[in-house]
Chains A and B, each alone.
Chain A
Amino acid sequence: MNRYGAMFDRLAGAGGGAFGAFVMLGDPDLPGSARMLRQLVQGGADMIEVGIAFSDPVADGPVIQAAAKRALAAGVRVNDCFGLIAEFRADHPDVPVGILTYANLVVAGGRQHFFDRAASAGADSLLIADLPAREAAPWAEEMRRVGIDPVLIAAANTPAETLAAVASIGSGYTYCVTRAGITGTHAEARFDAALIEQLRGLGAAPPVYGFGISRPEHVRSALDAGAAGVICGSAIVACAAQGGDVAGLVARLKAATRNDSPPQ
């Protein structure tokens, strides 16, 4: 069983959901980023999502855009990012690591080459923000061949036939988004139990909610809607950028994933 499967099984047995923490690799620089990854695990993150910075991140709001800009300004290259993942993997053999990035970085050096490098660095999954299910099938096939789970996005407005494609093409987990928009959206998140139910019915990989998770009550409502976990990005990145206590923030959000956490 791969790392995602083992993690979801363990958490389900313990009666709780997964907490995924996102950071941009190389933000603010390589050593700072390596420290940040360790803090996420210390805070209790079950799975780590890492961004590889792209110059033109159309799916991202201001917080993640700024993080990408800092990483690129620090001269961080794609190979450095794989280096950070490999280093993290050596210290944490069991924590699932997913890469979030954009299509042009994947194809620039040849898409198979990118997948190979991701696999040998020890990454478990790859989510390409500008690769919808309509385009994803051949990419997903190549990823799976080297042991990388292709993670696809399901949104509240995604039509049923696309959800079926997401279910059949995607693996590892399914990245669910709460509402229209970009990362870091602060509007009151609505977690759609119907979407989760549909995905479960289609046999999709475990649904995990991203976009708009910044407080313990968001975590609780996402899990109450039936999600297998949540991913928090902008809140963590903003906290780190302000020099805040990232491990503490992760610990507070993680606490809300436990079934015995106080009701909100």
Chain B
Amino acid sequence: MRLDGRFGRFGGTYVPEILMPALEQLEAAFLDAQEDPAFASELSALLADYAGRPTPLTRCRNLPSNIFLKREDLLHGGAHKTNQVLGQGLLAQRMGKTRLIAETGAGQHGVATAIVGALLGFETVIYMGAHDAERQALNVFRMRLMGAEVVPVESGGRGLKDAINEALRDWSASFETTHYLLGTAAGPHPFPLMVREFQRVIGREARAQMLDQLGRLPDAAIACVGGGSNAIGLFSDFIEDDVRLIGVEAAGKGLDGAEHGATLLRGRPGILHGAETYVLQDEDGQIAESWSVSAGLDYPAVGPEHAHLKDSGRATYVGATDVDALAAFKALATSEGILCAFESAHALAYALQLADEEPDSILLVGLSGRGDKDVAQAQQLLGPSA
């Protein structure tokens, strides 16, 4: 490997020896592609002409007008996920792989991977916790429509972390022909670095758009954090600026209980899925089951760069509960006519609170995805009269 793959003390490559050659090949392909103008122009063309970049920056009209929304919900596929699946898909082609595997929680990353599988002609297999596959039957069907095979995972808690376990097991036996298209800025090196670089476009555009629309940078950039890919994508181009970086974790049913996904707020350093990072775990180190109303934030670990940003103090992390998120989801719908993903509603919930405390601060919010996938659940939670 050419890089050490660490963010401070976090990150690394904690995988079975048998997977190391696959990670080395991936790192080499990624670093070579970064230096290759042909790769950059192919990816830019796909992002623009296929996925619909740049995405708008929308200033709120009826919610506090110091809130600006970076509209990844308008990207093809309905979330920021598309940015990085296109990047990894092109890399998989460069490496001569013919098959993609991916994990998915609620199905957003699975759908994104199915999109790139169909577009670039890969055999595509999506691992999905059996429990999630039952809850998200429509997304399972979406993936199948685009030609992907969906494999329900029966092991463990039958959720996202079990889907990752199963994808890693598949990859251990298949890496010669198969690329593991990991869905977030977590996992072993080079995934956290690579996914960040493919998501960096969010913050790069938002920064230029802020300067263009307002002539200044925001006071704070706010994004939800599950694995952390949309947040790291939004944060990265502001790291050197005097801009507060705020990650919002899922506080679920409350941070005092066990039913949340607040890894950075309530976990402690450990090693899961290839990286040293914060992990929700018991005293022995057994991994805890997380909880959030939004499946995308329901993960007991977090990308290692966020662990480093937390410990170094460069970013701060806060929580928004299921109830907070649902209120923000509804507020955005009724006030601005935008249905956002439950995940993104966590970031907005905190922004609304901050806008109240700091009416003069300019707040940039990563609206990472659209809410169509959550409408049925919202109806259940809010009742038919909303």
Contacts and interface: CB of A to CB of B under 8 A. Distances in A.
Interface of A: 54-62, 65, 69, 72, 77-78, 102-109, 129-135, 152-155, 157-159, 162, 166, 177, 179-182, 185
Contact of B285 (A107, A159, A182): A107
Contacts of B281: 104, 108
Interface in B137-153: none
Contacts of B13: 132, 134-135
B21 interface: yes
Given A130-B14, A132-B16, A181-B173, A105 B272 contact: no
A130 B287 contact: no
B18 A56 contact: no
B272 A56 contact: yes
A158 B284 contact: no
Interface stretch (B80-88, B161-169, B365-373): B161-169
Interface of B: 1, 12-21, 24, 155-156, 161-162, 165, 168-169, 172-176, 269-274, 279, 281, 283-287
A59 B171 CA distance: 11
Contact of A105 (B24, B172, B174, B284): B284
A56 B165 contact: yes
Given A56-B287, A104-B287, A107-B271, 13 more contacts: A56-B156, A56-B273, A69-B156, A105-B286, A107-B270, A132-B19, A135-B12, A153-B17, A158-B18, A166-B17, A180-B175, A180-B176, A185-B173
Nearest to B269: A107
A65 B286 contact: no
Ordered nearest first, which 6 A-B pairs have the shortest CB separation? A108-B285, A181-B173, A153-B17, A103-B271, A105-B285, A55-B286
Contacts of A69: 155-156
Contacts of A78: 284-285
A218 to B, nearest CB: 18
Q: Which of A130, A133, A166, A185 has the most CB of B within 10 A?
A: A130
B18 A177 contact: yes
A180 B1 contact: no
Nearest to A133: B17
Secondary structure of the A contact surface, majority rule = loop
B17 A56 contact: no
Contacts of A179: 173
Contact of A104 (B155, B172, B270): B270
A77 B284 contact: yes
A146 to B, nearest CB: 19
Nearest to A132: B17
Contacts of A131: 14
Given A104-B281, A104-B287, A162-B20, A130 B271 contact: yes
Contact of B17 (A60, A102, A155, A182): A155
A155 B274 contact: no
A186 to B, nearest CB: 12
A62 B162 CA distance: 13
Contacts of B20: 132-134, 158, 162
Nearest to B284: A78
A166 B161 CA distance: 30
